[in-house]
Amino acid sequence: MNTELIKLTVTDGEEKYVKAAELLRESQVVGIPTETVYGLAGNAYSPEAVKRIFEAKGRPQDNPLIVHISEFSEIFDLVSEVPETAKKLANEFWPGPLTMILPKSDKVPLCVTGGLPTVAVRCPSHPIARTLIKISGLPLAAPSANLSGKPSPTKAEHVYKDLKGRVPMIIDGGECDEGVESTVITLAAEKPRLLRPGNITLSQLKSVLGEVEVDDAVLNPLKAGEKVSSPGMKYKHYSPDASISLVRGDYKDFCDFVNEHNDGETYAMVFSGEGEGVEIPFITYGVDRNYRELSHALFDSLRYLDEIGAKRCFVRCPDESNDDNLAVLNRLLRAAGFKVIDV
Ligand code: AMP
Ligand code: MG
């Protein structure tokens, strides 16, 4: 399949969207920019489109997709009830990087939800994603536009590398602002529960809802036979080819530890301005204590390790006592397959 890569800017007129919207109406899939990461979009009402999404990514069928809408009012087509909590969260954080899980309506096919009775819904803020939803007139099911298991794409070139020849079109809208996927909260459980941390932080959610539980799977591997609230949590995720280890400890101990691995194939990933004490090759991923900077750089840095042929990488662990770092920690733990080294 030929993959067309088209560049769009926020000032482009609707005529530039016609071909992508046509493809979506024909149950084809299109790689699109959002403010979180690039998504692989298809008509959420079309089982044929949904099948194509799973096939292009190589995604396990039981890992449900998030459905994207352009206005809050469109949620009523997708879910069977809209509780007050959902209205409050939407009022505060939509459009933006927050996904809510609610009981699904009959219109949403089970293939979108991985067979679950609930559906994940998000209203993105990215102008290109919103315009495409509006012009196509469709709710768009869109998981991250990477090959399943790889780091999520934050640039169109990442999508092209993973999905070239597997999808008919990728829209290049520049680099994603956030860099990590949306925060996922379920409102279909007894109490609101955070299933996946993102840049809408736990404290922001608590400021609207009061109490919010944090699912065990956010920071811990699944135990054998454990029932999973969010099927995506059970799969290997965000992994570059290089073997990642998260290293916990202060800067001096980190340097002493990594400097013992000066073999030419091992890299360190440190906070900006920390290169001085590191004697092995290193890359940086933003300023410690600025979770937005870390999350913005994270996946691009993980993909860069593959580009430079790193075999192994020791990553400086962000401050675990700060809940704002939950999103970066959650992704790093999965990229590392939960390998954590205390120094
Ligand atoms: P991605 O589309 O790659 O950003 O992944 C979507 C995430 O949302 C995965 O972790 C899914 O398991 C989660 N998700 C989607 N729908 C549901 C649902 N109905 N219930 C629980 N988790 C969901
Ligand atoms: Mg994903």
Which own/partner pairs from 254-259 qualify as long-range (CB within 8 Å, at least 24 positions apart)? 254/314, 254/316, 254/343, 255/279, 256/343, 257/314, 257/341, 257/343, 258/314
Q: Do domains 4-218 and 243-342 have the same CATH topology?
A: no
Contact 63/120 with Cβ under 8 angstroms?
Answer: no
Nearest residue CA, atom 12 of ligand 1?
A: 232
CATH superfamily name and code, 243-342: Threonylcarbamoyl-AMP synthase, C-terminal domain (3.40.50.11030)
Which CATH architecture does the domain made up of 4-218 adopt? Alpha-Beta Complex (3.90)
Distances (CA, A) of 114 to 109, 227, 230, 231, 260: 9, 15, 10, 8, 46
Write out the chain's pLDDT in tens, 343 residues: 999 999 999 999 999 999 999 999 999 999 999 999 999 999 999 999 999 999 999 999 899 999 999 999 999 999 999 999 999 999 999 999 999 999 999 999 999 999 999 999 999 999 999 999 999 999 999 999 999 999 999 999 999 999 999 999 999 999 999 999 999 999 999 999 999 999 999 999 999 999 999 999 999 988 777 777 887 777 667 889 999 999 999 999 999 999 999 998 999 999 999 999 999 999 999 998 899 999 999 999 999 999 999 999 999 999 999 999 999 999 999 999 999 999 9
Best mutation site among 113, 148, 230, 233 for ligand 1 pocket (most ligand atoms within 8 Å of CB): 230
pTM for the whole thing? 0.96
Ligand 2 centroid from CA 260, angstroms? 34
Would you give the distance in Å from CA 123 to the centre of its chain?
14
**Tokens read off for 256:** 């002493």
Which ligand is the nearest neighbour of the Cα of 150? 2
Closest CA to 214 of 232, 236, 189, 245: 189
Residue spans per domain, the chain? 4-218, 243-342
127 in Cβ contact with 103 (< 8 Å) = no
Residues in CB range of 250: below 8 A, 6 or more apart = none
